[in-house]
Chain A
């Protein structure tokens, strides 16, 4: 047995102190490190996933990529850190990541008490219900006594309790940890209802054997504005993330996309496009970047509409309609302040 003790020599891992020099601003730190440290989720269909080559893709990592493109002109200069619902805020607050882009709902207490800054909304979501068609239920208010699959530690859990309480009906919670677990439980019939953000329901429904045998209830019981967030205390860094997202939204509004951005960057008749893409004025300097920052983000990642269509739009298996997330000019509520 003494031989086993010699296993002690078998392996060990070194103490790695990554000297992280604290400096004035996050942007300087990011530039010094050569990458943006971006917190993402561990996997939400369409919103964050690994492709076959092992690279992170999705609607949320696209925000990280756009920021990296604006700063470095290289979408690969992102260091992804996967965070769970429980670790995400400490990871951001402790400086393990510079920004979070992982379907996180903007709420009062998170914005204030947790000392975080939501810089915008990249997806307006709301909590919905999915049930098998054969249950024959028309409205979520008829779900008295139903067993409900619900992800723990999320705002959806609290919304669910509120909804059933205000309507005076009862439910039996089936607590689950991940979307995939919920799907398995729902398919196996261990819960009658699956509730989460409507986008997640649509994604889950698309992956079922027979999607038409399941229906989303018409009720949307909550507001879930999902968006990227940063720490309190560095407004310059918050500005960069906020306006990168705004640049993508504005680009769609102005008809700038990754294909025509090069020709538009040489100058157009629309002064706002010129300001956005840097052929007129120098907006980039005001946030510590160069003139072409927005041009790079749009060129390398695309405008908001392109990103939406690529990962979660109607032509993807997720099949989400723009709905609330259409531009304000097209019936939605997506509205970026002007570039001036």
Chain B
């Protein structure tokens, strides 16, 4: 037969199935799990560990767990697993700290408004985004008013804040304030004006050279000696300032990495078009630099959010501190695993969401410079 006459027009020949053993579940198992002696050993070992760990963990977490109880003794009488009744009883404490019971609606309202304020910032396709952004700009003031009180609301001192609420306040404020500050520092470090450059470089290097815990100690103890006697600077505010400065210094370096990746031609092109410095930064350089820096920026944010638990060392009652105080109640003593699992879940949800959002943002802004 003459090969030249054979045509394989699309659709005329049905697709044949792959040979037996080259597709399907068994094939996947073979190629991915048992393709070599080394892989076989790894698979068997992993399987053994999973078998040893997962069922007992599942039993402890759910099957044998007690969800309503009055004390640890009560839990142990009912079943042998996790005593979630403890968390249930203390859920309010873990969430609001010592915020007065009858005023907790203010925290809840602040949280809802926070979601409403953040959505238009994070989600570009939101209907009526422009109007909503005005609300976002106003939210910090509304939030402070609701949480702290005053102007018609009963004041609540920040020493009563605690639990997840405190973590959120530290995390959100730290993220929101440190990003613009970090960008300014990064630009300042590359500035042609010597004094600005020296100040920014000195600040960044100083903050990066000192552990956060040291800064927190300074905030909690040293500042009291520097300030005039009698002036009482709110402890939480001191901590927030330190957290913001700390994370701004790190962000500045992340953003600087992005800025250096932008070819010089971009700035020169902007100059050639007659753009002023701030215009060229805002319209040409920063949008590209920040896009490159997204993974690093989110990385810093996640680190900052988790570092907020360090405030427990200076006696602020974040979830870990609330957990410690609660575990000292003889009724519940010895349930630390439950507390830490619960707190870990909270942090995982927050950090994982941030991580997923950054992936979404990268995909959205993807303009073809990436490999995959």
- B176 lies within 8 A of A11 (CB): yes
Segment at the interface with A among B42-50, B116-124, B200-208, B260-268 = B116-124
Report if A44 contacts B (CB, 8 A): yes
With A42-B315, A49-B325, A94-B224 known as contacts, the answer to whether A9 contacts B232 (CB < 8 A) is no
By the criterion CB–CB under 8 Å, are A20 and B230 in contact?
yes
B287 touches A95 (CB 8 A): no
Contact at A82–B328, with CB atoms within 8 Å? Answer: no
Question: Would you call B245 an interface residue if the criterion is a C-beta within 8 Å of the partner chain's C-beta atoms?
Answer: no
A86 to B311, CA, bound (A): 13
Taking a contact as CB atoms under 8 Å apart, the answer to whether B336 and A90 are in contact is: no
In the bound complex, CA of A206 to CA of B330 (Å): 9
Nearest residue (CB) in B for A53 is: B101
Could you tell me if B290 and A13 are in contact, using CB atoms closer than 8 angstroms?
no
> Which residues of chain A are within 8 angstroms of B147 by Cβ–Cβ distance?
13
A46 within 8 A of B: yes
A48 interfacial contact with B, CB 8 Å? yes
Task: Check A32 for interface membership: any CB of B closer than 8 A.
Answer: no
Query: Are A10's CB and B176's CB within 8 A?
Result: yes
State whether B229 touches A17 (Cβ < 8 A): no
CB neighbours (8 Å) of A44 from chain B are: 328
User: Would you call A84 and B315 a contact (CB within 8 A)?
Assistant: yes
Q: For residue A43, which residue of chain B has the nearest CB?
A: B328
* Most central of A50, A84, A86, A94 by chain B CB within 10 Å: A50
The closest CB in chain A to the CB of B122 belongs to A3
Report yes or no: A90 in contact with B237, Cβ–Cβ below 8 A.
no
User: With A87-B221, A318-B330 given, is the CB distance from A7 to B183 under 8 Å?
Assistant: no
The docked-state distance in angstroms from the alpha carbon of A86 to that of B216 is: 12
Q: Kindly state the separation between the CA atoms of A92 and B321 in the bound complex, as whole angstroms.
A: 20
- A-side contacts of B322, CB under 8 Å: 50
Q: Give the Cβ gap from B112 to chain A, nearest Cβ, in Å.
A: 14
Residues of B within 8 Å of A91, CB to CB, are: 220-221, 315
Tell whether, in the assembled complex, residue B114 and residue A10 are in contact, meaning their CB atoms are under 8 Å apart.
yes
Per-residue A-contact encoding for B115-144, CB less than 8 Å = 1, 0 else: 001100110100000000100110110011
- One of B1-9, B87-95, B189-197 contacting the partner: B87-95
Q: Which chain A residues numbered 225 to 247 have a C-beta less than 8 Å away from chain B?
A: none
- Give the complex CA separation of A159 and B120 in angstroms: 59
Tell yes or no: B329 within 8 A of A by CB: yes
Q: State A317–B312 Cα separation when bound (angstroms).
A: 27
Query: Which residues from chain B contact A95 at a C-beta distance below 8 Å?
Result: 224, 229-230, 232
Residues of A within 8 A of B286 (CB): 1-2
CB distance from B110 to the nearest CB of A (A): 9
A18 to B312, CA, bound (A): 23
Q: Are A180 and B180 in contact (CB under 8 A)?
A: no
Q: Is the CB of A50 within 8 A of B325?
A: yes
Decide: B290 and A316 in contact? CB cutoff 8 A. Answer: no
Interface SS, B side: helix
Scoring A residues 1 to 44 as 1 if CB is less than 8 Å from chain B, else 0, what string do you get? 11111111111111111111110000000000000000000111
What residues of chain B lie closer than 8 Å to A317, measured between beta carbons? Answer: 330-331, 333
A293-331 interface bits toward B, Cβ cutoff 8 Å, 1 = contact, 0 = none: 000000000000000000000001110000000000000
In A191-248, the 8 Å CB interface with B consists of 203, 206-209
**Interface residue A51 (Cβ < 8 Å from any Cβ of B):** yes
Q: Judge whether B177 and A8 touch: CB under 8 Å.
A: yes
Contacting pair A83 B232 (CB below 8 A) = no
Residue A54 CB within 8 A of the other chain: yes
A183 at the interface (CB under 8 A from B): yes
Residue among B236, B312, B314, B334 with the highest chain A CB neighbour number at 10 A: B334
Distance, CA A179 to CA B345, complexed state (A) = 23
Q: Interface stretch among B10-18, B59-67, B167-175?
A: B167-175
B98 at the interface (CB under 8 A from A): yes
Q: Are B329 and A50 in contact (CB under 8 A)?
A: yes
Q: Are A54 and B92 in contact (CB under 8 A)?
A: yes
Does B33 make an interface contact (CB < 8 A)?
Answer: no
Q: Which residue of B lies closest to A81 (CB)?
A: B159
Q: CA separation between A84 and B175, bound complex, in Å?
A: 27
User: Could you say which residues of chain A place their CB within 8 Å of the CB of B230?
Assistant: 20-22, 95
B168 to chain A, nearest CB (A): 9
Q: When chains A and B are docked, how far (Å) is the Cα of A20 from the Cα of B342? A: 39
Whole-angstrom CA separation of A316 from B329 in the bound complex: 11
Chain A residue nearest to B129 in the complex (CB): A3
Q: Which residues of A contact B361 (CB under 8 A)?
A: 1, 4
Knowing A2-B287, A10-B140, A183-B334 are in contact, say whether A49-B179 is a contact too (CB < 8 A).
Answer: no
Does A113 have its Cβ within 8 Å of any Cβ on chain B? no
Q: Are A86 and B159 in contact (CB under 8 A)?
A: no
A138 at the interface (CB under 8 A from B): no
Q: Report which residue of A7, A15, A48, A58 has the largest number of chain B beta carbons within 10 angstroms of its beta carbon.
A: A7
> Quick check: B287 and A1 within 8 Å, CB to CB?
yes
Bound form: Cα–Cα A96–B327 in Å: 26
B308, CB-defined interface residue at 8 Å: no
Instruction: Give the residue of B140, B229, B282, B334 whose beta carbon is less than 8 angstroms from that of A12.
Output: B140
B90, B97, B101 — most chain A CB neighbours (10 Å): B90
Q: Which of A7, A16, A20, A22 contacts B121 (CB under 8 A)? A: A7
Contact across chains for B221 and A5 when beta carbons are under 8 A apart: no
Closest Cβ–Cβ distance, residue A140 to chain B (whole Å): 25
A268 and B344 alpha carbons, distance in the complex (Å)? 59
CB contact list, A146-187 vs B, under 8 A: 178-180, 183-184
User: Within the complex, what minimum Cβ distance (angstroms) separates B120 from chain A?
Assistant: 9
A7 touches B176 (CB 8 A): yes
Q: How many whole Å from A4's CB to the nearest CB in chain B?
A: 6
Known: A52-B89, A52-B90. A12 touches B177 (CB 8 A): yes
Is the pair A12, B159 in contact by a Cβ cutoff of 8 Å?
A: no
Q: Is the CB of A77 closer than 8 A to any CB of chain B?
A: no
B180 contacts which chain A residues (CB < 8 A)?
5, 8
Nearest CB of chain A from residue B122's CB, rounded to whole Å: 7
Contacts of B158 in A (CB 8 A): 16
B294 at the A interface (CB under 8 A): yes
Given A10-B140, A11-B176, 4 extra CB contacts under 8 A:
A2-B282, A91-B315, A317-B330, A318-B330
The 8 closest A-B pairs by CB, nearest first: A94-B224, A43-B328, A22-B230, A49-B328, A1-B290, A207-B333, A90-B221, A207-B334
5 sampled A-B residue pairs with Cβ under 8 A: A6-B121, A46-B328, A86-B217, A90-B224, A180-B328
